Amino acid sequence: MDLMLPAPQDPHPAPQVAVVVIGYDDASHVADAVRSALRQGPAVGEVIAVDDCSTDGSAELLERLAEHDARLRVVRRSENSGGCGTPRNTGIDAVTLPYVMFLDSDDVLPTGAVDALLRAAVAADAQVASGLCVRRELPSGREQPWQPTLYAAPAVLARPADRPRLVDDTLCVNKLYRTSFLREHNIRFPEGRFLYEDFVFTARVLAAAPRVALVPDRVYTWNVRRSADRLSLSLDRDGIDNWHARTRACAQAHEILLSAGQKVLARAARVKFLDHELRMYLRELHLRSPEYRRAWWEHTRAFLGHYEAADWEPNPAAPGRLIGRVVMACPEPAELPRLRELAARPARLLPPYARAFDGTPIWSAALPQVSLAPLLTRPASGLPVAVDAELLVRMRTSRLRLRLHELYGRVAEAGPLAVTVEWRFRPTGRTARRVTIPFVPTGADLWTAETPVDLTALGAGVWDLWLTLHFKDGTSREATAHARRDSPQLRRRALPDPHHLLLLAHPYATHSGALALRVATGPLGAARVAKGRLQRILR
């Protein structure tokens, strides 16, 4: 039998990929971004750094870097564009290689990212290759994968409509594009100050029906610096103009897909808005002024008014659909605390659980037109169950008390059996303690569970409470617990501690209403807490 030897590897492969790095007044980070692109290896033949008329010396820094690597080319714009689209278009025009990808000045490419994407694109003869992006919160270093289910396994799609959830990944930076594909279809970013320009660009890419290769490799690290003096355009959500910009980008993306005959993707884009944008902004709505809330509510109702009946149909019990229907049913902001809980991830639908005269589940007596009947057929593992939690901080042994609520008979039908309690360290997601305890029926519509909590063993930091509910029918449901705002336990307490002399424990409600715990240990930890509180008061 003849043995086929593998073809020898070319020690000097031809460069295939251009990386376009854009930046404005980001001298403290842009060098790291550029170096991460240059370190990708010989596949990267050019790194095009487009400086959007910086005033902090960024362009000069890039020029000095270019003196040490001929692959780096610096393009200096003479006028600031006000956004990210124009400098990326400038970069596309300057590319001379078969493939291109994009990198922002405050992010980095992980080692091997370009090779993974290029290998997939070439093997599949794909115009687009896409991989996993990871959001890294700084300075904590906490990492969270972006749309991980899309990248759970390698895949090749003959066209995007074969996997409509591609519309959920609106990022342009975790993808490799065939340069000729972008040019042939005149796919470009919106010019000037256009927030969420990648929504529109990605829609134009999908509308052109490329062959797509997906890889599970980590190909992009998105650094999120919320404590920065100047937030990125997309993260600065305090003003109502940001919401206007976001809905405008979503509307344009939908229109692009619809006009191209991509009806499946266009509908998926509208579903994505309900499940992602609507829930994200509603979780923060209670933090805004009454004027903002009224403007947000009015604009959202107008936006959702363009939805067709079929846009509401897929999975009608999904939290985003229910939230949208409540917003459309109320001319003024209403039900915000309950909506915030439903917008949480995982969703929580708090009582009361109203019914119409015929027994049909409804949102409330005031909104009988918002039916909750789809909950009657939703799997128990997907129900927006509500669990209340109280952490009783005590001198000796603190205790966590949980109360699981009935939901139109579905919880009793599944049969609550036990709950696994986890305290996860927020910066890393590490679980410090996991314990499974039984549920005890308490009346017809309530199940309770209680467990001790060793605050000293947890240690200093911020801890999130996560639950896994186990049912007798064999199903389970991951959940977070609602922090009861009427509880006197949501306050800071100082306790003597044998290991640290002093321990400060502060159970509190997160923006989405979930119970979390902040712990400070020792005199120095207590002093830092006091200093931070004083600074917030003086602001």
Given a cut of 50, whether residue 539 has pLDDT beyond it is: no
Domain-wise residue ranges, the chain: 17-225, 240-378, 382-538
Under 8 Å between Cβ of 418 and 470 = yes
Of all residues in the chain, what percent carry a pLDDT higher than 90? 77
Q: What is the dihedral of CA 339, 342, 343, 347, to 10 degrees?
A: 170
Under 8 Å between Cβ of 147 and 163 = no
Average pLDDT in the chain: 91
pLDDT in tens, 135-169: 998 888 888 999 999 999 999 999 999 999 999 99
pLDDT confidence of residue 238: 80
Count the Cβ atoms, other than its own, within 10 Å of residue 9.
Answer: 6
Given a cut of 80, whether residue 535 has pLDDT beyond it is: no
pLDDT confidence of residue 456: 85
Mean pLDDT across 447-467? 92
* pLDDT higher at 539 or 205: 205
Q: Please give the helix or strand (H or E) that residue 405 lies within, else none.
A: strand 398-405
Residue 357 burial (CB < 10 Å; 0-12/13-18/19+)? exposed
Given a cut of 50, whether residue 2 has pLDDT beyond it is: no
Contacts with 179 (C-beta within 8 Å, 6 or more apart), sequence order: 18, 92, 95, 97, 98, 99, 100
Alpha-carbon span 345 to 360, nearest angstrom: 26
Alpha-carbon span 281 to 287, nearest angstrom: 10
* pLDDT higher at 510 or 127: 127
Distances (CA, A) of 509 to 209, 284, 312, 421, 520: 44, 13, 31, 17, 17
Contacts with 279 (C-beta within 8 Å, 6 or more apart), sequence order: 319, 320, 323, 343, 345
Half-sphere exposure in the Cβ direction for 44 (13 Å, CA): 30
pLDDT confidence of residue 8: 44
pLDDT confidence of residue 234: 53
SS (H, E, C) 247-299: HHHHHHHHHHHHHCCCHHHHHHHHHHHHHHHHHHHHHCHHHCCHHHHHHHHHH
pLDDT in tens, 105-124: 999 999 999 999 999 999 99
pLDDT in tens, 242-254: 999 999 999 999 9
* pLDDT higher at 44 or 497: 44
Alpha-carbon span 112 to 507, nearest angstrom: 42
Domain range 382-538, CATH class: mainly beta
Of 71-80, 115-124, 222-231, the one with minimum mean pLDDT is 222-231
Contacts with 270 (C-beta within 8 Å, 6 or more apart), sequence order: 254, 307, 311
Residue 126 burial (CB < 10 Å; 0-12/13-18/19+)? buried
Helices 197-207, 240-259: inter-axial angle, 10-degree rounding = 10
For domain 17-225, give the fold: Spore Coat Polysaccharide Biosynthesis Protein SpsA; Chain A (3.90.550)
